[in-house]
Amino acid sequence: MIETSLFDRYLTRKSLAYRRTGYAALLLLTLGLQGCGVLGGTKTQSEEQDAAQEAGAVAATEGDVAFDVQVHSDDRSIASHLEQHLDVQRYTRFPDLQESEFNRLLIEADANARDLLAALGYFNPELTLTVQNNPEGKGVPRSIVVQVQPGVQTVVQSHQVTFAEPMASNPEAQAQRRRIERRWSLQDGDPFTETDWSAAKSAGLRELQKYRYPTAQIANSQARVDADANKADVSVEYDAGPAYRFGEVKLTGVERYDAQGIRNIARIPTGADYSEEELLDAQQRLAASGYFDSAFLMLDTENSAPDHATVVAQLREAKYQKVVFGVGVSTDAGPRLSIDHTHNKLWPLGWRTVSQLALDSKNQKISSQATAMPNEKGWAWFMGGKLERADVGDVKANSVSLVGGRSKSVGHIDRRYFLQYDISRVMGGSELSGSASSIMANYDWTGRYFDSKSNPSSGYGLGAEVGVGYTLTPQQDPFLRTHLRALQFIPFGARNEVGRRSRLAVRGDLGAVVADSGVKVPASLLFLTGGDTTVRGYGFESIGSRAQGDDLYGGRYMAVGSVEWQRPVTLFGNATDWGHAMFVDAGAVSDETSQMRVYTGVGTGIRWNSPVGPMQADVAYGVQKQQVRVHLRMGFSF
């Protein structure tokens, strides 16, 4: 039994004896192959090694195949591993390889194979190397044949995770210590491999470096292997180093925009314990603000004190203006054209302004919103307007909307409070024709608690919007508008080869406009549903209320629910980035809760975790309308 801090090689007396026996057998083999050539050669062993190393620098694809390597084992995965990683494979395409060099490669192949097997936890393998001369016409003059009996795989008998002072006795670090110990991946009874051992140590170190201790390192690690018993005792000690706190933010590359405003966007909590998540969130806020083409934040651990460490923000400013043209198509609204214009410092307020012109078959819209730099608490003023012509069920509606208020985005939570003025005019020759206007005070809250912002596999999101309003025309009456939504991903089952699991996606959406029955509110404040992101199997916003003339129109009450089962797809035994989904959607809209009719859609689809975000394609059957529709969607939003 031996101790080592690295997994490069594990030697026991038993394995050493096997190795010496293998060396002796191979030496006799090579002497028989080359006769007296070994003794009578003009090159020294050192010169031969140098020559072999020079030959190894030549591309492995040069020349004809001089020999091949065949590995035979009852465990095909072990055979494939050796065939792929044996060093001797680098020399298979050297037809002028000297016999003495070839024989040296044979001897080294035995040691190399034992090291590769030890890395997989097999310390008592039985190896036999032979050279097989092949008949002419086969294409390969000879083959190195490796017979492998790996033996019993070593397992972890015990593991120990410790911490050096001062962290070991620091009560504030107790939760962090327990979290690392609880998440330690190499548990008792697990197979002991080089990959798993290194991964376990690295994962513990990364967990330590994420919070309070960015300069943490591994002080000592040992793997005590009893090859005779096929048992391993592992231990690691982490040296956390000093605890760090956030200090001032140093900006580099800022010339066009207000430096204090940029710091307010980053919102690094000066004086708080260092957190990698806080740093990455600040970096994401800067990158998403639109003021920069790139943003990178790092903690200066070399030139600043741990209790007041400087955060260095390396920024590349974006130009004042940007125009983006977009052309697309959707299964909801058909072809789509958009033009987006951004001005990061529009006169006279100097606010960032985003304007858009969007045209499709159901909606034509021009909008603009201006947002100020946030203050020290993260709140930013905004104001905007929108002019829209849209299909509202079976009728057309021209609408104008004006908003103004404040917003704040911190961590997982977005908040807004604002005043909103709406006026809508419905056209169509039915009883719905006419105009209505209102003013409303709103509060909007959204919390996102997903494991990924762009492509989540677990977690949940909640959203709530509440508005208290007053109609201005055609009469003056109060009303209340509320909109609640939720989404949760529930993973279950075993992970596949790339760590993915099956999951349930459960979604809910509720909306209500509470007012007296005779109150007419703007059409843009009523609810419609159906389409790619709501009730699949039905057209975009084709589920609503019915007027006396049977015209489809927005309703005061809406309820939507969905349950979707998603599972990863394995092709030919290999995990992929594709998935399969089956779902049931249901939704209802009405002016009276007692008259709500539920529309149900069922279907199936595929999912692809693309480099730019999730993509989905669904085929859904609308039960009530007895129709089949295709739905396409890209990206994730909540």
Main-chain phi, psi angles of 447, to 5 degrees: -120, 125
Three-point CA angle 397, 403, 405, nearest 5°: 160
What is the chain's percent helix, strand, coil content, to nearest 5? 20, 45, 30
Give the per-residue pLDDT at 548: 61
Give the per-residue pLDDT at 626: 94
Q: Rounded to whole angstroms, how far apart are CA atoms 235 and 163?
A: 11
Beta bridge partners of 148: 73, 127
Q: Which amino acid is at 24?
A: A
Q: Residue 32: is its pLDDT beyond 60?
A: no
Q: Which of 41-45, 200-204, 571-575, 582-586 has the lowest mean pLDDT?
A: 41-45
SS3 at position 560:
strand
Q: Which of 91-95, 346-350, 415-419 has the lowest mean pLDDT?
A: 91-95
Helix 194-209 / helix 174-182 crossing angle, nearest 10 deg:
160
Q: Which amino acid is at 546?
A: R
Main-chain phi, psi angles of 150, to 5 degrees: -65, -25
- Answer yes or no: are the C-beta atoms of 161 and 184 closer than 8 Å: yes
Q: Which residue has the tokens 């007027």?
A: 547
CB atoms within 10 A of CB 637: 10
- Percent of the chain scoring above 90 in pLDDT: 61
Give the per-residue pLDDT at 549: 65
Condensed to tens digits (0 to 9), the pLDDT of residues 510-525 reads: 999 999 988 999 999 9
Give the per-residue pLDDT at 496: 65
505: left (phi over 0), alpha (psi -120 to 50) or beta: beta
Q: What is the mean pLDDT of residues 600-618?
A: 91
Q: Rounded to whole angstroms, how far apart are CA atoms 422 and 303?
A: 55
Q: Which of 246-260, 430-444, 538-552 has the lowest mean pLDDT?
A: 538-552
Q: Residue 25: is its pLDDT beyond 60?
A: no
Give the per-residue pLDDT at 332: 73
Q: In what order do the strands lie in the sheet with 292-299?
A: 246-252, 309-317, 292-299
Average pLDDT, the chain: 86
Number of H helices, E strands in the chain: 9, 27
More confident residue, 334 or 184: 184
Q: Which amino acid is at 103?
A: N
557 Cα distance to chain centroid: 36
Quick one: pLDDT band at residue 575, thresholds 50, 70, 90? low
Q: Residue 19: is its pLDDT beyond 70?
A: no
Q: What is the mean pLDDT of residues 307-314?
A: 95
R_g of the chain computed on alpha carbons? 34
Long-range pairs of 171-178 with CB within 8 A, sequence gap ≥ 24: 173/212, 173/240, 173/243, 176/207, 176/208, 176/211, 176/212
Which of 176, 212, 173, 177 minimizes the C-alpha distance to 307?
A: 212
More confident residue, 28 or 49: 49
Task: Determine if the peptide bond prior to 150 is cis (ω within 30°).
Answer: no
More confident residue, 403 or 84: 403
Burial class (CB in 10 A: 0-12, 13-18, 19+), 94: buried
Which of 210, 190, 204, 195 minimizes the C-alpha distance to 237?
A: 204
Long-range pairs of 226-230 with CB within 8 A, sequence gap ≥ 24: 226/1, 226/12, 226/157, 227/1, 227/10, 227/12, 227/14, 227/15, 227/123, 227/124, 227/154, 228/12, 228/14, 228/124, 230/123, 230/124, 230/151, 230/152, 230/153, 230/154, 230/155
Q: Residue 38: is its pLDDT beyond 90?
A: no
Sign of the alpha-carbon dihedral angle for 347, 353, 354, 355: negative
Q: Residue 34: is its pLDDT beyond 50?
A: no
Q: Residue 27: is its pLDDT beyond 70?
A: no
Give the per-residue pLDDT at 24: 38
Q: Which helix (H) or strand (E) holds 197?
A: helix 194-209
Give the per-residue pLDDT at 526: 94
Q: What is the pTM of this model?
A: 0.71
Residues in the chain: 638
- Answer yes or no: are the C-beta atoms of 518 and 591 closer than 8 Å: no
CATH topology of domain 13-149: Ubiquitin-like (UB roll) (3.10.20)
Q: Residue 52: is its pLDDT beyond 70?
A: no
Cβ partners under 8 Å of residue 261, min gap 6: 373, 374
Q: What is the mean pLDDT of residues 56-85?
A: 76
Condensed to tens digits (0 to 9), the pLDDT of residues 229-276 reads: 999 999 999 999 999 999 999 999 999 999 999 999 999 999 999 999
3-state secondary structure 202-216: HHHHHHHHCECCCCC
- Answer yes or no: are the C-beta atoms of 562 and 531 closer than 8 Å: no
285 Cα distance to chain centroid: 18
Q: What is the mean pLDDT of residues 539-550?
A: 82
Q: What is the mean pLDDT of residues 407-429?
A: 90
Q: Rounded to whole angstroms, how far apart are CA atoms 318 and 286?
A: 11
- Answer yes or no: are the C-beta atoms of 411 and 447 closer than 8 Å: no
| DSSP letter, residue 435 | E
Q: What is the mean pLDDT of residues 115-144?
A: 86
Domains 155-239 and 246-317 share a fold: yes
Give the per-residue pLDDT at 5: 35
Q: What is the mean pLDDT of residues 380-399?
A: 91
* Beta-strand relationship, 599-610 and 351-360: unpaired
* Beta-strand relationship, 380-392 and 395-410: antiparallel
Domain edges within the chain: 13-149, 155-239, 246-317, 374-634
Q: Rounded to whole angstroms, how far apart are CA atoms 117 and 123?
A: 7
Q: Rounded to whole angstroms, how far apart are CA atoms 121 and 114?
A: 10
Give the per-residue pLDDT at 422: 96
Give the per-residue pLDDT at 558: 97
Q: Which two tokens stand for residue 386?
A: 């929108």
Superfamily holding 155-239: membrane protein fhac (3.10.20.310)
Which of 281, 310, 316, 284 minimizes the C-alpha distance to 298?
A: 310
Condensed to tens digits (0 to 9), the pLDDT of residues 276-303 reads: 999 998 999 999 899 999 999 999 999 9
- Candidates 3.10.20.310, 1.10.10.10, 3.10.20.70, 3.50.50.60; CATH matching 246-317: 3.10.20.310
Q: Which residue has the tokens 């009469």?
A: 475
Q: Which amino acid is at 15?
A: S
Beta bridge partners of 144: 69, 131
Q: Rounded to whole angstroms, how far apart are CA atoms 205 and 238?
A: 7
- The CATH class, in words, for 374-634 is mainly beta
CA distances from 524 to 351, 420, 454 (A): 27, 12, 29
Give the per-residue pLDDT at 40: 34
Q: Which two tokens stand for residue 156?
A: 């972890």
Q: Which of 93-97, 147-151, 433-437, 496-500 has the lowest mean pLDDT?
A: 496-500
Give the per-residue pLDDT at 498: 56
